Amino acid sequence: MARKKEISRSKILDIAYKMAVNNGLDRMHARSIAKTGHFSTQPLYLEFKNMDEIRSEVLKRISHELRTETLQKKYVGDALIDLDLAYINFAQDHSKLFRAMFVGGKFGSQIIVDTLMDLGTAKFKEQYGDTNYSDQKVHDIVIANWISTTGMAALVVNEVAKFSQDQIVNVLQAQIHDAMLNDRLDLSSEENPMFAADDEASLKDSLA
């Protein structure tokens, strides 16, 4: 009779996910996962090819949580602004994970880039459903919005500045309206580097 596996794939992912949320992705290594779970590293390499596969699966779970729970909270009743506020609150509540989602000033995973862009686009269309912008225009507005939102989140997380909810809403509403009215925020000619996850995961290329 075959011996039942004591350390399952799902258990390993549960541990890795909790570590990422609590301590950030940069602390998630084979030895640290094994130490936290009180087992050797052998089960990790029986269930997964390498740490990259574990990291990818954890990012998929984080993406799912962002899409379905974390970034779906309601604050002021405006879909895109609510998304921004939820993101800033997420950054405050999980500052280590927020920092780990950036690598050299860029989003560290195309999975996260796609999640934020998809959510931003959907929320913009929900809030501004009566507009008739091209897909490229919406794309540019959403990128501009994420630049502002992520900047404010970084200021808050790093304790550079404190903002009330009203202040955040005022700044973001002004930025969104400016991006809607002015072509100077058209980023189609030059991709903002913050949203290029890596050489093979360019946001512009993936959304083209």
pLDDT at res. 43: 92
Domain boundary, last residue among 33, 56, 79: 56
As a whole number, the mean pLDDT across the chain is 85
Residue 206 has pLDDT above 50, yes or no: no
**Per the domain annotation, does 63 fall within a domain?**
no
Quick check: 47 pLDDT over 50?
yes
- pLDDT interval class at 195 (50, 70, 90): low
* pLDDT confidence tier of residue 201, bands split at 50, 70 and 90: very low
- C-beta separation of 33 from 105 below 8 A: no
pLDDT in tens, 4-18: 567 899 999 999 999
- The pLDDT of residue 49 is 92
Q: How confident is the model at residue 196 (pLDDT cuts 50, 70, 90)?
A: low
What pLDDT digit, counting tens, does each position of 110-145 carry? 888 899 999 999 999 999 988 889 999 999 999 999
Given this model, what pLDDT does residue 108 score?
62
Instruction: Clarify whether residues 89 and 51 are in a common domain.
Output: no
- Contact of 100 with 29, CB cutoff 8 Å: no
pLDDT at 186: 56
Would you say residue 62 lies in a domain?
Answer: no
The yes-or-no verdict on residue 171 having pLDDT over 60 is yes
Say yes or no to pLDDT of 207 above 50: no
Does 119 map to a domain?
yes
Residue 80: give the domain boundaries: 69-207
CB-based contacts of 64-68 (< 8 A; 24+ apart in sequence)? 66/90, 66/112, 66/115, 66/116, 66/119, 67/115, 67/118, 67/119
| CA–CA gap between residue 81 and residue 98 (Å, rounded) | 19
CATH of the domain at 23: 1.10.10
Residues 52 and 73 in one domain: no
- Residue 41 predicted with pLDDT over 70: yes
Total domains present in the chain: 2
Q: Is the pLDDT of residue 164 over 70?
A: yes
Residue 98 has a pLDDT of 87
**Distance between CA 27 and CA 16 in Å, rounded?**
10
